[in-house]
Amino acid sequence: MRAPPGPAGGPHLLVDTLHGRHAVMLDLTADVRELTERIVDVESVSGSEDSLADAIEYALRPLEHLTVQRDGNAIIASTDLGRDQRIVLAGHIDTVPIADNVPARSEDGRLYGCGTSDMKSGVAVQLKLAATLTEPVHDLTFVLYDCEEVEAERNGLRRLALHHPEWLFGDFAVLMEPTGGVIEGGCQGTMRADVTVGGERAHSARSWMGSNAIHAAGGILEILREYKPRYPEVEGLEFREGLNAVFVSGGVAGNVIPDSCTVTVNYRFAPDRTVRDAEAHLRDVFADFEVRVTDAAAPARPGLDHPAAAAFVRTVGSGQARAKLGWTDVSRMSELGIPAVNYGPGEPTLAHTAGEYVELDAVAEAERRMADWLSGRGSAGAA
């Protein structure tokens, strides 16, 4: 490998001798705030994470205390120090499509740009910990994976769980998802379904001879307007459900009465329901319509009574935790039998917005808290 000089102010490139392409250089000795900006500037929209995955791989491979493995655009780095417990730190490297918000810009202590909050700041924390914690009190596995922001079957952690579950083994996991620096337990399940109403085609000049399916879809929308979501408490944390239309499709031509209209709904459900429960609920709500489930991901219960989770909440979160209102890969960890929580420096309400940003001091604070916990400084080492 060799590193030619990059343009002034631009990325420096590394000749990638394994993959036959150039890789952006990431300096893991840089301050975590600077590292976050560098990572944001490497575009990695879901399905196009090659450049960032290459950069991460070549930043980690020289570190002698880590074993680095790769599957597609997922990078796994782990220690093997013979510790009694293994902690998994995981996070996705992809983002939603950019909205004229790359490269990043810094202003008044905030870093603006695509993925700053969700979740390249969390990735930067992972990489700093991977580089600096050569003698942690627990063995560590760092999982940086692709395609989290798209449909479940493309998810890189799902692929790893299917093909290399042994790479993900651990006693406890932290998903570095944006939480505003607050520990969030469990996650909601998510389900998408097409709710369809039929009609009868006719020429629009003789509309009375047909039945307009788009007009009939008003019944679906009325159900959604009147729907009352639940606010269940699960293991001491209050979750909030939601059922909303996200797409409407129908129509044949400008002079044809349509014979079909479909409303796609997204159901976010609490972890006291299974995927099967959620589907049964949707079919009950839309009993008068055709319902076809197109995508689903299971929720995860908080599990904060697990000793490792309780210790993490006590030492890193100062005893505070709340429910995760969204789906994250703590669900996949739960399916693997690994208790997991969400914790990261980004603000979740800013995720996927054009004005997305992260407070740079929050990134440094997250690195400090995690480093204290994993290095055993004070009471933070207990797990």
Q: What CATH number should be reported for the domain holding residue 314?
A: 3.40.630.10
Last residue of a domain, one of 270, 297, 324: 297
pLDDT band at 320 (very low <50, low <70, confident <90, very high): very high
Would residue 1 count as lying in a domain?
no
d(CA 178, CA 326): 11
Residue 1: per-residue pLDDT? 42
* Section 279-286 average pLDDT: 98
pLDDT band at 251 (very low <50, low <70, confident <90, very high): very high
Q: How many CB atoms lie within 10 A of CB 1?
A: 12
Alpha-carbon separation of residue 92 from 76, 121, 147 (angstroms): 12, 11, 7
Q: Mean pLDDT lowest for which of 87-101, 200-214, 290-304, 306-320? A: 306-320
Query: Do the Cβ atoms of 242 and 185 come closer than 8 Å?
Result: no
Would residue 6 count as lying in a domain?
no
The more confident residue out of 328 and 122 is 122
Would residue 149 count as lying in a domain?
yes
Alpha-carbon separation of residue 257 from 158, 168, 198, 202, 216 (angstroms): 43, 54, 11, 5, 12
d(CA 364, CA 121): 9
Residue 5: per-residue pLDDT? 39
Q: What is the DSSP letter of 187?
A: B
The yes-or-no verdict on residue 121 having pLDDT over 50 is yes
Which positions are catalytic? 94, 148
In this structure, the answer to whether residues 304 and 291 fall within a common structural domain is: no
* Section 37-41 average pLDDT: 97
In this structure, the answer to whether residues 278 and 338 fall within a common structural domain is: no
Q: Which residues contact 299 (CB under 8 A, 6 or more apart)?
A: 186, 187, 188, 189, 269, 270, 271, 273, 327, 331
Counted domains in the chain: 2
In this structure, the answer to whether residues 177 and 196 fall within a common structural domain is: no
Residue 382: per-residue pLDDT? 46
Residue 315: per-residue pLDDT? 86
Q: Which residues contact 301 (CB under 8 A, 6 or more apart)?
A: 186, 234, 235, 271, 272, 334
Beta bridge partners of residue 290, listed in sequence order: 196
| pLDDT mean across residues, the chain | 92
Structure-block tokens of residue 81: 């120090």
Residue 130: per-residue pLDDT? 98
Would residue 2 count as lying in a domain?
no
In this structure, the answer to whether residues 275 and 150 fall within a common structural domain is: no
The yes-or-no verdict on residue 350 having pLDDT over 60 is yes
In this structure, the answer to whether residues 195 and 265 fall within a common structural domain is: yes
Residue 57: per-residue pLDDT? 96
Would residue 239 count as lying in a domain?
yes
Q: Which domain holds residue 206?
A: 189-297
In this structure, the answer to whether residues 376 and 278 fall within a common structural domain is: no
In this structure, the answer to whether residues 75 and 132 fall within a common structural domain is: yes
Last residue of a domain, one of 250, 273, 297: 297
Would residue 290 count as lying in a domain?
yes
* Section 354-374 average pLDDT: 96
The yes-or-no verdict on residue 381 having pLDDT over 90 is no
Residue 83: per-residue pLDDT? 96
Would residue 45 count as lying in a domain?
yes
In this structure, the answer to whether residues 175 and 315 fall within a common structural domain is: yes
pLDDT band at 13 (very low <50, low <70, confident <90, very high): low
The yes-or-no verdict on residue 8 having pLDDT over 70 is no
In this structure, the answer to whether residues 173 and 194 fall within a common structural domain is: no
Instruction: Give the rounded percent of residues in the chain with a pLDDT score beyond 90.
Output: 84
Residue 10: per-residue pLDDT? 47
Alpha-carbon separation of residue 167 from 62, 70, 140, 164 (angstroms): 20, 10, 11, 6
* Section 126-131 average pLDDT: 98
Q: How far is CA 347 from the centre of its chain?
A: 13
* Section 33-55 average pLDDT: 97
Residue burial 67-96, b: 16+ Cβ < 10 Å; e: rest: ebebeebbbbbbbeeeeeebbbbbbbbbbb
CATH number at residue 261: 3.30.70.360
Question: pTM for the whole thing?
Answer: 0.82
pLDDT band at 18 (very low <50, low <70, confident <90, very high): low
Residue 151: per-residue pLDDT? 85
In this structure, the answer to whether residues 309 and 365 fall within a common structural domain is: yes
Phi, psi of 189 (to 5 degrees): -85, 160
Would residue 156 count as lying in a domain?
yes
Amino acid at residue number 354? A
Q: Mean pLDDT lowest for which of 17-26, 103-112, 155-164, 179-188? A: 17-26
In this structure, the answer to whether residues 128 and 234 fall within a common structural domain is: no
Last residue of a domain, one of 276, 297, 318: 297
pLDDT band at 2 (very low <50, low <70, confident <90, very high): very low
Residue 309: per-residue pLDDT? 86
In this structure, the answer to whether residues 355 and 335 fall within a common structural domain is: yes
Compute the residue count for the chain. 383
The yes-or-no verdict on residue 247 having pLDDT over 60 is yes
